[in-house]
Each structure stands twice: as C-alpha cells, then as structure tokens.
Structure 1
Amino acid sequence: MRLIRFLIALLCIAAGVVVGALNPQPVSLDFGFVTLRGTLGVSLLVALLAGAIAGGLMLAASVVVPLRQQLRRERARQAAAPANPHTGDS
C-alpha cells in the first residue's frame, strides 16, 4: 500500500512539473488587497491544491467530526451502562 501511495505521489509531482513547464505565461491575480504575480502553471497548481485542501476540510467537517462524536457518545454509553451478568441456565 505504501508503494502505491508513493507511486501516486510521484505521478502527481510529475504531472505538476509538466503542467508548470507547459504553461509559462505570466499571470497576475488581483485579490483587492494584494496582487500576486506568477506563471499560469504555478497558479493552476496552487488553485488545485487549495481546492483539494478545501474539499478535505469539508469532508472532515461533514463526515469525520460527526462520526467521532457518535463514537464518543457510544463509548460513554457503554461505560455508563451497568454490567449485565449472564442469565443462562446453571
């Protein structure tokens, strides 16, 4: 599994290098309070990275956090429940 992740990471890095090399046109991004200058390739890669981070944060906020809260409630419920002795025939 580590090898697959490593190969995917290398593939993404290679794709980033290719995108950066094929898009050397200068661009300016005006955010109102600051203007950033860079190449089109770098701007594309930064936008993709920002989108991936935003998507991960949204996933964490909408799925992971509620599941952790549910797990915490279940563990607290199990800890608070009295131990039931086995009621089988003896």
Structure 2
Amino acid sequence: MRILQLLIAALCVAAGVVFGALNPQGVALDFGPWRIDAAPLGLSLLLAMLVGAILGGLVLGAFVIWPLRRRVYRLERRNGADESAETAVVEPARPTP
C-alpha cells in the first residue's frame, strides 16, 4: 500500500513539473492591495490548487473531523463508565445472625 501511495505522489509531482514547464508565460496576479507581475502561469495555477487543497482540508477538519472525534471521545468515555459499572464486583449480603 505504501508503494502505491509513493507512486501516486511521484506521478502528481511529475505532472506538476510538466504542467509548469508547458505554461511558462507570465501572468499578472492582482490581490487588491498587492499585485504580482510576471508570475509564471503554471506556477500560479499550481499554487492556487495547493492553497485550495490546504484550505479545504482545514475546513473539513474544523467542521467534520473535529466534531466527529469529540463525539467518539464522549461515546468512548460513556461506554467505559458503563463497562466499569457492569464489571464491578458486588459482594453478596451477609446473613444476620
């Protein structure tokens, strides 16, 4: 499985290098108060995809993964308390003389 992941990562890096090499023309990026002139088109698109993937991962983590982990933690705590109550040793009552 690890080899397959490395192979896919290497293919993505190679595709990015080819994509950047095939799109060398300059492009001006305007971010309101900032302006970047003559950034290569391939690099600009790759950086935009990278920033989008990072932001998407952060949003997914904040609104899906983190709440689910909290829920699992609470359920595990509750189940752990239930199991300890079930396994508690109860001594039988001693008869009174």
Q: TM-score range by the shorter chain?
A: 0.7 to 0.9
Aligned match of 1:83 = 85
TM-score normalised by structure 1 residue count: 0.83
Q: How many residues matched?
A: 86
Distance in structure 1 (CA, Å) of the matches to 2:5 and 2:78: 38
Q: Percent identity?
A: 53
Q: What CA RMSD, in Å, does the superposition of the two structures yield over aligned residues?
A: 1.8
TM-score normalised by structure 2 residue count: 0.78
Aligned match of 1:36 = 36
Moved more, 10-19 or 68-77: 68-77
Larger Rg: 2
Unaligned runs of 5+ in 1: none
Distance in structure 2 (CA, Å) of the matches to 1:71 and 1:63: 12
Unaligned runs of 5+ in 2: 89-97
Moved more, 7-16 or 66-75: 66-75
